[in-house]
Amino acid sequence: MPASVRIVDIRERTVDISRYSDRSLPSGGLTTSIVALATDAVRRGRPVVGFGFSSVGRFGQGGLIRERFAPRLISAGEVDPVAAWAAMMKGEKPGGHGERCVAVGTLDMALWDAAAKIADLPLHALLRQRFGDRGNPAAVCIYASGGYPHPENDPVRLKEELRRFRDSGYQRAKIKIGGVPLSRDLDRIAVAAEIFSAPHSLAVDAMNGYEPAAAIAAAHAFRPLQLMWLEDVCDPLDFETQSAVTAVYEGPIASGEALFSVAEAKLLDRHGGLRRDRDILLFDPVHCYGLPGYLDIIETMETRGWKRSAFWPHGGHLFSLHVASALSLGGTEVNPSSFQPFGGLADGAVLSAGCASPTDLPGIGFEGIEALDHLFRRL
């Protein structure tokens, strides 16, 4: 990164974000922060601006970004993402991971977008340069995430959504469970299995919704279904229940989406009963204090016997796709029909054997999604 390049402005806006492609359906009140980080670098006759957002599922972080972390970045002026991350975290105390980690991760995404644009590289190529090219192909194993319960005519709407996934080239999918009685969860899984019928092609996500007894009952009920994995069965810090589920459920368990630090990752590994030969780690690179924090988690878990193939980052957007490609991770989530316009792949992306390649546009490639490019440009 040229030493003369500086940050000149940072803008943030908190926007609504819906879990349904049909915006008339209830969104749950979710929001996300979008940021534009302007630099004094010029490429192709225009100032370089890095874009980022708060991933999905945690709400916007406008106050923390505007009042705490953006001023530190502007004061430091650092565009290099690693040095800028250190500037953002200066003076921060250990613990307190609940919300500040998302604010830092949002700005971190914009920093990486800017850095890659300045280098005139797609992000996955820049990350390979910075963190060592491991010789992995650009294509990433992906699954289509969606399947939220619809307020009306849910079985039909679920089947229609999953058919669109399949017809678009997705070979794996994930649906949401846990918010309804177990009998209805089993009905929804049966509907989904009509579309994604191959063994281990359908995952289910309880969104940390099951109480302990219900989690154990679900684990017993799901055992014969040959699921890709069973995800987030209970409260993310209820390691006792998590461990009890793994004791009765032989298939893969996926966990970690709602844990944001190295310390929490260690607790999950020590007390959650996870098995290194089959289970999946879903930490979100944005929610884990951005890429530097996420890399710390990967390196820590590797020293404890985990392989990179166990990491499938949460998020379902282009940033996670670049990260999974560059770091040789197992795969990643894609949100083709929810959290628009942030979820999904670049416009016109073509899948091959259930895999996708990150865009070769400079940076993260948000400009390759017309609706998202328009939203960022309004900043």
- Which residues are the active-site residues? 176, 314
Q: How far apart are CA 350 and CA 343, in angstroms?
A: 16
Owner of token pair 């089993």 = 186
CB 195 within 8 A of CB 163: yes
Q: How far apart are CA 209 and CA 178, in angstroms?
A: 5
Nearest to residue 123, comparing CAs of 135, 143, 103, 108? 108
DSSP 352: B
Q: How far apart are CA 124 and CA 117, in angstroms?
A: 12
DSSP 197: -
Peptide bond into 341 cis (omega under 30): yes
Distances (CA, A) of 221 to 218, 240, 242: 5, 20, 16
CB 308 within 8 A of CB 298: yes
Report the phi/psi class of residue 95: left, alpha or beta, with left for phi > 0 and alpha for psi in -120 to 50.
left
User: Which structure tokens are listed for 59?
Assistant: 């709400």
